[in-house]
């Protein structure tokens, strides 16, 4: 019995002693994980049957590389635009999140494949980004500014500071300029960010464009396609400013996905050093196809009660551990305490949803039997802002309920990505373990 005037907080769920176990469902969480690369020549129609046979069905992320070489000296034809629509529609129908990279080269020979004028690249950017904007619901990141070997922003006449500024402005001023962008080096990030005040002035001429893009101007991510190869990740970081640039990414590039490819170097790195690098850079996504030599080695290395590969996979991006749920019957408040065990932040807006049902008991007058059941009492929601749950952070989500009558209740909890209601799984609990937890209102 609870004494009059006192209503103690109730612990509805305590998983703080779970030793941070991971359930398999977390691999299905959107906007993070291993991905596979799907290259396309925009002058050719897609082969959906072939894609169906090569698709990694468990991946939530896919990276598509779209080659524009066939149009290097002309505008993209209507047929080419139709092909881009078909590519994006295919992945939308597969419920995949996309990283999109446009390039003029899929063979490492950008200098021979790119247009002879930057004006042509700008034209192609405007054409393709106008289409990209129509699929913003599935695109989490645009990678690169169309130039360089494999679109990686190196080995190109257009990889100079001035050329990249021109291409960056073209990107930001496009309809799709609010979609997060990632570039190849920390130096590029800092150069492009300095352009934002000037671009912002131009945007003010179009109030609708300005309001849509403004909050994204300071968010540029990093794609590192030589992770772990060498101390400077094969030129991703400037050797003379190595510590400074890594620290810059660690402290400032925390609201946009960071990822790329791991590459086996000459030196054999310890597990501790590899994990430290992935954690420091807040790695959200990795190519599952490259470098196979290193990834296959990870699958052989034992790490705790799993493999090193499996450990990395579970920690890519966000990994939300549900620590405790308590209820304050005096204030009618639920408090949900979580810890992000992943390498990176939860980069998209999410929502925690609670369903409250009240237990009832009554006698069936016809049969004389006591019957039990539940009826829906109310729902509560807690909005989780994008990037608010940072790596290693502990958060308390407080949900204010409407006053409840005295009685016994059951609560069910789930977390979803806000924009499409896709489930986000806690690391330590399966969905059925979050269903109809007992709660009481004294």
For residue range 169-224, list pLDDT tens digits in order.
999 999 999 999 999 999 999 999 999 999 998 888 877 777 778 777 888 999 99
For residues 50 and 180, membership in a common domain is answered with yes
Residues 6 or more apart whose Cβ sits within 8 Å of residue 180: 140, 141, 142, 216, 219, 220, 221, 256, 257, 347
User: How many structural domains does the chain have?
Assistant: 2
Q: Is residue 25 part of a domain?
A: no
Confidence (pLDDT) at 5: 47
For residues 120 and 265, membership in a common domain is answered with yes
Please give the Cα distance from 393 to 370 (Å, whole number). Answer: 48
For residues 65 and 121, membership in a common domain is answered with yes
For residues 44 and 139, membership in a common domain is answered with yes
For residues 108 and 201, membership in a common domain is answered with yes
Cβ-in-10-Å burial (0-12, 13-18, 19+) of 208 comes to: exposed
For residues 303 and 334, membership in a common domain is answered with no
| Whether the Cβ atoms of residue 231 and residue 258 lie closer than 8 Å to each other | no
Residues of the chain with pLDDT under 70: 1-6, 17-19
Structure tokens, 242:
């190595």
Structure tokens, 152:
């990686």
Confidence (pLDDT) at 67: 98
Q: Is residue 434 part of a domain?
A: yes
Among residues of the chain, what percentage have pLDDT more than 90?
Answer: 86
Q: Is residue 4 part of a domain?
A: no
CB atoms within 10 A of CB 107: 11
Phi and psi at residue 196, to the nearest 5°: -60, -40
Q: Is residue 358 part of a domain?
A: yes
For residues 128 and 143, membership in a common domain is answered with yes
Please give the Cα distance from 176 to 189 (Å, whole number). Answer: 19
In sequence order, the β-bridge partners of residue 327 are 10, 334
Beta strands in 252-295 (DSSP E): 258-262, 283-287
Residues 6 or more apart whose Cβ sits within 8 Å of residue 310: 299, 303
Domain harbouring 51, CATH code: 3.20.20
Instruction: Please give the residue range of the domain that contains residue 217.
Output: 30-314
* pTM for this model (two decimals): 0.93
Please give the Cα distance from 170 to 43 (Å, whole number). Answer: 23
In sequence order, the β-bridge partners of residue 353 are 381, 414
Domain stop point among 314, 337, 372:
314
Please give the Cα distance from 373 to 362 (Å, whole number). Answer: 9
Please give the Cα distance from 206 to 228 (Å, whole number). Answer: 43
Confidence (pLDDT) at 316: 98
Which tens digits make up the pLDDT trace of 71-85? 999 999 999 999 999
Residue 18: name the closest of 298, 319, 312, 300 by CA: 319
For residues 256 and 358, membership in a common domain is answered with no
Q: Is residue 79 part of a domain?
A: yes
For residues 277 and 350, membership in a common domain is answered with no
Residues 6 or more apart whose Cβ sits within 8 Å of residue 257: 31, 32, 99, 140, 141, 180, 182, 221, 284, 285, 317, 344, 347
Please give the Cα distance from 290 to 259 (Å, whole number). Answer: 13
Q: What is the dihedral of CA 14, 16, 20, 22, to 10 degrees?
A: 0
Domain stop point among 314, 345, 367:
314
3-state secondary structure 193-241: HCCHHHHHHHHCCCHHHHHHHHHHCCCEEEEEEEECCCCCCCCCCCHHH
Q: Is residue 1 part of a domain?
A: no
Q: How many residues does the chain have?
A: 442
Please give the Cα distance from 318 to 424 (Å, whole number). Answer: 10
For residues 176 and 282, membership in a common domain is answered with yes
For residues 249 and 140, membership in a common domain is answered with yes
Domain stop point among 314, 349, 365:
314
Domain harbouring 357, CATH code: 2.60.40
CB atoms within 10 A of CB 291: 18
Confidence (pLDDT) at 209: 76
Cβ burial 348-370 (10 Å sphere, 16+ → b, else e): bebbbbbbbbbbeeeeeeeeeee
Q: Is residue 134 part of a domain?
A: yes
For residues 109 and 135, membership in a common domain is answered with yes
In sequence order, the β-bridge partners of residue 408 are 440
Q: Is residue 5 part of a domain?
A: no
3-class DSSP state of 60:
coil
Please give the Cα distance from 99 to 35 (Å, whole number). Answer: 9
């Amino acid at each position: 019995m609870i004494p009059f005037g006192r209503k103690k907080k109730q612990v509805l769920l305590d998983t703080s002693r779970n030793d941070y176990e991971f359930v398999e469902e977390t691999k299905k969480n959107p906007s993070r994980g291993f991905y596979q690369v799907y290259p396309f020549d925009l002058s050719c129609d897609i082969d959906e049957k072939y894609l169906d046979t090569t698709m990694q069905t468990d991946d939530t992320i896919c990276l598509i590389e779209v080659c524009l070489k066939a149009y290097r000296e002309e505008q993209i034809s209507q047929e080419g635009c139709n092909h881009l629509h078909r590519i994006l529609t295919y992945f939308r129908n597969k419920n995949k999140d996309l990283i999109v990279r446009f390039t003029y080269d899929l063979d490492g020979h950008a200098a021979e494949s790119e247009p002879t004028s930057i004006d042509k690249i700008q034209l192609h950017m405007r054409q393709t980004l106008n289409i990209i904007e129509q699929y913003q619901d599935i695109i989490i990141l645009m990678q690169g500014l169309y130039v360089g070997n494999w679109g990686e922003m190196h080995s190109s006449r257009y990889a100079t500071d001035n050329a990249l500024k021109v291409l960056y402005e073209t990107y930001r001023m496009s309809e799709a300029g609010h979609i997060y962008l990632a570039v190849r080096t920390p130096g590029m990030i800092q150069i492009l960010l300095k352009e934002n005040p000037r671009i912002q002035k131009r945007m003010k001429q179009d109030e609708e464009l300005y309001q849509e893009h403004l909050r994204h101007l300071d968010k540029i991510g990093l794609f590192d396609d030589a992770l772990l190869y060498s101390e400077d990740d094969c030129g991703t970081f400037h050797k003379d400013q190595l510590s400074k640039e890594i620290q810059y990414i660690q402290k400032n590039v925390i609201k946009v996905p960071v990822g790329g490819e791991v590459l086996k170097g000459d030196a054999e790195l310890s597990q501790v050093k590899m994990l430290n690098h992935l954690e420091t850079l807040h790695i959200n996504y990795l190519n599952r196809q490259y470098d196979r030599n290193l990834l296959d080695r990870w699958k052989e290395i034992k790490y705790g009660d799993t493999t090193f590969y499996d450990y990395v996979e579970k920690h890519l991006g966000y990994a939300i551990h549900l620590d405790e749920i308590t209820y304050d019957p005096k204030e009618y408040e639920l408090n949900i305490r979580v810890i992000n065990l992943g390498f990176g932040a939860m980069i998209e807006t999410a929502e925690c949803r609670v369903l409250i049902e009240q237990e009832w008991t009554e006698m069936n007058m016809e049969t004389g039997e006591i019957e039990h059941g539940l009826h829906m009492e109310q729902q509560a929601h807690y909005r989780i802002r994008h990037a608010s749950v940072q790596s290693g952070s502990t958060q308390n989500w407080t949900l204010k309920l409407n006053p409840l009558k005295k009685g016994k209740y059951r609560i069910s909890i789930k977390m979803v990505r806000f924009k499409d209601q896709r489930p986000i799984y806690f690391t330590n609990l399966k969905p059925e373990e979050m269903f109809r937890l007992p709660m009481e209102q004294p």
